[in-house]
Structure 1
Amino acid sequence: MTEQGVTIYLVEDDEAMRSSVARWLRLADFHVEPLAAAAPLLETIATDSPAVVVSDVRMPDMDGRDLQQAVQHIDPDLPVILFTGHGDIDMAVEAMRNGCYDFIEKPFNAERLLESVRRACEKRHLVLENRNLRSQMEDLSGLHARLIGRSPAINKLRQEIIDMAPVDANVLVIGETGTGKEVVASCLHHLSPRHDQPLVAVNCAAIPETLAESELFGHEPGAFTSASTRRKGRLEEAHGGTLFLDEMADMPLEVQAKLLRAIQERSFNRLGSNTVRNTDFRLIAAINTDARGAIQRRELREDLYYRVNTIELHIPPLRERREDVPMLFSVFCEHAAVVYDRPVTYPDSATLTALMNHDWPGNVRELKNVAARYTLSSLPPEERLGSLLRQDNDIAPAPGEGLREQVQKLERQLIQDALRRHEGRITPVLEELQLPRRTLNEKMRRYGLRG
């Protein structure tokens, strides 16, 4: 087999020529199946066959052009390379117009044929790879559409969610930044008996320490200087449903103590009120670090940890499930193409290899951002990923940074890249980015860029 696992079907009625060409191909490490006529090939070939066809044009029973049409009827993306000693320009043009991958006239240079076969094998490998990815994506539904992947690690996590979702017990989700802790919490909620009640998510890292207690428990007018109106807290909003506390270890310790009491007693007081309010919610908490380490650093109360982790779920980082990267990347590229109204560009084999070799310290969130920039990039597809991964540290989301700030960083980078490619010439930049002159000028001024 070739390095792509593709078989070369060589159809040639002349025994000497068939033997000679087969020998060249085998010396180049291709797996070759020599055939004296077209009929046996048409009995063998099928849609999605990992194959390339190399055929003579002039043959007694079925000529190469008819064979090429028959093969394309079976699979229109299967490459067919034709060669003949009787060809002319008109024949070549007609063959290429009818979908022939390449047309080579005899006598031909062996390297010319080998190069054509190599390129055809690469194309076939990529077509089959993308078909497989699309097939897998079409099969995604329910939980599989939320937690994408086929690796043992993600299959195990999905099964744990299915098993634990109906159990009305507290859950602690542990995973690195960007692994999808909120997605897991959402899956647990929507598969639970509380699915028709609210899921209230709280990013503990984004709440100012002075407002943390008010955020959770609510307040009455006059409870503190700026409290001019009554406000429900998140515990109250989550009544009957699920409360998700993301980055729980970033919550102030004194607030953790009050939360612990509220969880134990299923009741709380708003700030500035003596009225006890009962609440009923399922608690899902998430941390991005080892719980023991957080406890030792006095970031997480030990008693709160034990109260929360009735069930403990661990989300694997992306580097531990690299086989899921191609499917995830393709799904994210399709989503980005819809959002930004761009054509879908599926990664080639070299790009897929680079994606799987990258460690993805930002996990699925980083992969999703790179897929969006890959879809938006105007570079040739084979050049995009290397450029994007080099930029990644410069435009990676900062802690607590919102979507607007992330989009602005990406926009600045895209304009800067276009200016650099066109050496500061504005007209080709306008054409590439499809922007009016005034809009580009405003954006360059805003981002401090010069042509």
Structure 2
Amino acid sequence: MPQAPCICLIDDDDDLRAALAQMLTIAGIAVRDFATADAALQILDPDFDGAVLTDVRMPGMDGLQLFQHLHDMDADLPVILLTGHGDVDMAVRALHAGAYDFLTKPVDTEVLTAALRRALAARRLVLENRRLRQSQSDIALAHPPLMGDSLAMRQLRDSLTRVAEAQSDALITGPGGAGKSLVAQAIHRHGPRRAKPFVVLDCAALSPDRIDAALLGSEPTPNARHARTPGLLEKAHRGVLCLDDVAALPQAAQTRLLKLVEAGEFWPAGAAAPRPLDLQIIATAESETQGDLHPGLYYRLSRAIVTVPPLSARAQDVPALFRHFLQSAADRLSRSVPPLTDLVLAHLATHRWPGNLRELQAFAEHHLLGLEGAPGHTPPARPALAQMVATYEAALIRDTLRDCQGHATQAMQMLGLPRKTFYDKLARHGIRPGSFRDPA
């Protein structure tokens, strides 16, 4: 496919196709021409940056079938149909189905080039908007809890993308320190409500006598200098309300919140009438079971359950996360990053990290400060030589597979290993080449 946007021209009439291609080239429009729809489909994909001009009546796959195929693949790809006078009614139906335009033969040069330039401009705008959304998505997914190439993290990113786009209420589960609250923030940044508020309710800190004041707001006392305090529902309206540690929310508060959300309205303190309430609710909890949750609230949240894996389930991501935390701490404290010793690298590879991201971040900051270890765990013991060699070997194989995007044959060639030896090592280290492939 050429670098510049072009018109993909399909017509089985060789003479007419050649004449149209010459006409477009003289008009300054790049063109690639094909005699059949099947041949054209070799260059047409959702990233195609041009437009399609196709005859309707062709042997094999005709123009309408081609349009339907392309519309199913990418509804925003402009398809212009070239029709005879007898095909106008059929072309109009295609226009209603999503075709960009139709032109009747013989087509006027100025009419054709004007239609094609409009189609190219429309396609350029669509692709620019997609790239902008993708850029925003990349920013939203770049936070440390979401970094990594492990299968668990790719599945997590896919899940939160779906939840964000659907604006679904969700329950985010996972062990302490795994980054559940930060994943909730990523869902907000990645979804249509990103420009609206993200309001956090610390459920463990809410006492029963403060429920109404926290949710609905409070009126000023007679001697107060300030206006009333808005509640969390008012602040979060049209945005996201994050229930952090939802299992700690008192039952009375769960019942009260559920009634307000289901009613779709609330009465702010001192208001003369109810106000509409539009929320996406995201809750965090260590377990995905109902536990102490009100059944109605649990069923509402469990429409979408996003599980944040423990750090032990994404061991291959640990070195990159450690370097990120180390660099962030160095920037914050205006220090230079110290070298990573073999002992530290071995500890990163062999430690189970029960405290997850919090523990890893603490270890990174203590390494930056030259301290012995992170708070609450003993300094890393020097592993045996065989363990260090195995750790290095596993890391090297993972890095090679990552560079090869999971293609085992290419990886074994780069490593200079016979097939049987390579697969023996994969089995010994529990490495799956498929986990390094692009999910697409």
Normalising by structure 2, we get a TM-score of 0.51
* Match for residue 362 of structure 2 among 366, 369, 394: 369
C-alpha displacement at 1:215, in angstroms?
1.3
Counterpart of 2:234?
A: 236
Task: Tell me, in whole angstroms, the C-alpha distance in 1 between the residues paired with 2:347 and 2:208.
Answer: 42
The reply on whether 1:314 has 2:307 as its aligned counterpart is yes
The reply on whether 1:160 has 2:159 as its aligned counterpart is yes
For residues 215-254 of structure 1, give each alpha carbon's deviation from its aligned partner in whole angstroms, at most 9, with x where no partner exists.
122123469x999952211111011211111111111100
Task: Tell me, in whole angstroms, the C-alpha distance in 1 between the residues paired with 2:324 and 2:278.
Answer: 37
Counterpart of 1:177?
A: 176
The reply on whether 1:301 has 2:290 as its aligned counterpart is no
The reply on whether 1:212 has 2:200 as its aligned counterpart is no
C-alpha displacement at 1:348, in angstroms?
2.3
Counterpart of 2:18?
A: none
C-alpha displacement at 1:161, in angstroms?
1.5
C-alpha displacement at 1:163, in angstroms?
2.2
Task: Tell me, in whole angstroms, the C-alpha distance in 2 between the residues paired with 1:154 and 1:207.
Answer: 32
C-alpha displacement at 1:270, in angstroms?
3.7
Task: Tell me, in whole angstroms, the C-alpha distance in 2 between the residues paired with 1:153 and 1:208.
Answer: 36
Alpha-carbon contact 1:219-1:273 (below 8 Å) kept: no
The reply on whether 1:335 has 2:323 as its aligned counterpart is no
Farther off after superposition, 190-199 or 351-360:
351-360
Task: Tell me, in whole angstroms, the C-alpha distance in 2 between the residues paired with 1:262 and 1:369.
Answer: 40
Counterpart of 2:111?
A: none
Alpha-carbon contact 1:220-1:231 (below 8 Å) kept: yes
For residues 365-389 of structure 1, give each alpha carbon's deviation from its aligned partner in whole angstroms, at most 9, with x where no partner exists.
1211221122112x5xxxx348973
Task: Tell me, in whole angstroms, the C-alpha distance in 2 between the residues paired with 1:356 and 1:269.
Answer: 54
Task: Tell me, in whole angstroms, the C-alpha distance in 1 between the residues paired with 2:369 and 2:335.
Answer: 7
Counterpart of 1:354?
A: 347
Secondary structure of 1:284 counterpart: strand
C-alpha displacement at 1:360, in angstroms?
1.9
Counterpart of 2:378?
A: 390
Alpha-carbon contact 1:269-1:277 (below 8 Å) kept: yes
Secondary structure of 1:321 counterpart: helix
Task: Tell me, in whole angstroms, the C-alpha distance in 2 between the residues paired with 1:164 and 1:142.
Answer: 14
Matches within 5 A, 1:58-69: none
Matches within 5 A, 1:393-408: none
Task: Tell me, in whole angstroms, the C-alpha distance in 1 between the residues paired with 2:212 and 2:317.
Answer: 40
Task: Tell me, in whole angstroms, the C-alpha distance in 2 between the residues paired with 1:333 and 1:305.
Answer: 38
C-alpha displacement at 1:166, in angstroms?
1.0
For residues 330-355 of structure 1, give each alpha carbon's deviation from its aligned partner in whole angstroms, at most 9, with x where no partner exists.
11000000111111024223212212
For residues 241-298 of structure 1, give each alpha carbon's deviation from its aligned partner in whole angstroms, at most 9, with x where no partner exists.
1111111111110010011111211112345767422221211111122423x2xxxx
C-alpha displacement at 1:304, in angstroms?
0.8
For residues 44-70 of structure 1, give each alpha carbon's deviation from its aligned partner in whole angstroms, at most 9, with x where no partner exists.
xxxxxxxxxxxxxxxxxxxxxxxxxxx
C-alpha displacement at 1:359, in angstroms?
2.4
Aligned length: 242
Alpha-carbon contact 2:237-2:277 (below 8 Å) kept: yes
* Match for residue 251 of structure 1 among 246, 249, 252: 249
Alpha-carbon contact 1:174-1:312 (below 8 Å) kept: yes
Normalising by structure 1, we get a TM-score of 0.49
Amino acid at match of 1:357: T
Amino acid at match of 1:255: A
Secondary structure of 2:357 counterpart: helix
Alpha-carbon contact 1:268-1:278 (below 8 Å) kept: yes
C-alpha displacement at 1:305, in angstroms?
0.3
Alpha-carbon contact 1:373-1:388 (below 8 Å) kept: no
Farther off after superposition, 356-365 or 333-342:
356-365
Runs of 5+ in structure 1 lacking a partner?
1-139, 393-451
- What is the Cα-based RMSD across aligned positions, in Å? 2.8
Task: Tell me, in whole angstroms, the C-alpha distance in 2 between the residues paired with 1:227 and 1:274.
Answer: 22
Q: Judging changes above 3 Å, is the alpha-carbon distance between structure 1 residues 233 and 388 closer, same or farther for their aligned structure 2 residues?
A: closer
Alpha-carbon contact 2:237-2:278 (below 8 Å) kept: yes
Task: Tell me, in whole angstroms, the C-alpha distance in 1 between the residues paired with 2:214 and 2:282.
Answer: 17
Q: Judging changes above 3 Å, is the alpha-carbon distance between structure 1 residues 386 and 337 closer, same or farther for their aligned structure 2 residues?
A: closer
Counterpart of 1:133?
A: none
Q: Judging changes above 3 Å, is the alpha-carbon distance between structure 1 residues 227 and 288 closer, same or farther for their aligned structure 2 residues?
A: farther
Task: Tell me, in whole angstroms, the C-alpha distance in 1 between the residues paired with 2:248 and 2:367.
Answer: 33
Alpha-carbon contact 1:189-1:195 (below 8 Å) kept: yes
Q: Judging changes above 3 Å, is the alpha-carbon distance between structure 1 residues 162 and 346 closer, same or farther for their aligned structure 2 residues?
A: farther
Task: Tell me, in whole angstroms, the C-alpha distance in 1 between the residues paired with 2:331 and 2:300.
Answer: 43
For residues 173-222 of structure 1, give each alpha carbon's deviation from its aligned partner in whole angstroms, at most 9, with x where no partner exists.
11111111111111111111111111112221133443233112212346
C-alpha displacement at 1:141, in angstroms?
5.4
Matches within 5 A, 1:2-13: none
Task: Tell me, in whole angstroms, the C-alpha distance in 1 between the residues paired with 2:376 and 2:295.
Answer: 42
Task: Tell me, in whole angstroms, the C-alpha distance in 1 between the residues paired with 2:232 and 2:171.
Answer: 18
Secondary structure of 2:377 counterpart: helix
For residues 149-182 of structure 1, give each alpha carbon's deviation from its aligned partner in whole angstroms, at most 9, with x where no partner exists.
1111011101112222111221111111111111
User: Among the aligned pairs, what percent are the same residue?
Assistant: 33
Q: Judging changes above 3 Å, is the alpha-carbon distance between structure 1 residues 178 and 264 closer, same or farther for their aligned structure 2 residues?
A: same
Alpha-carbon contact 2:282-2:301 (below 8 Å) kept: yes
C-alpha displacement at 1:319, in angstroms?
1.4
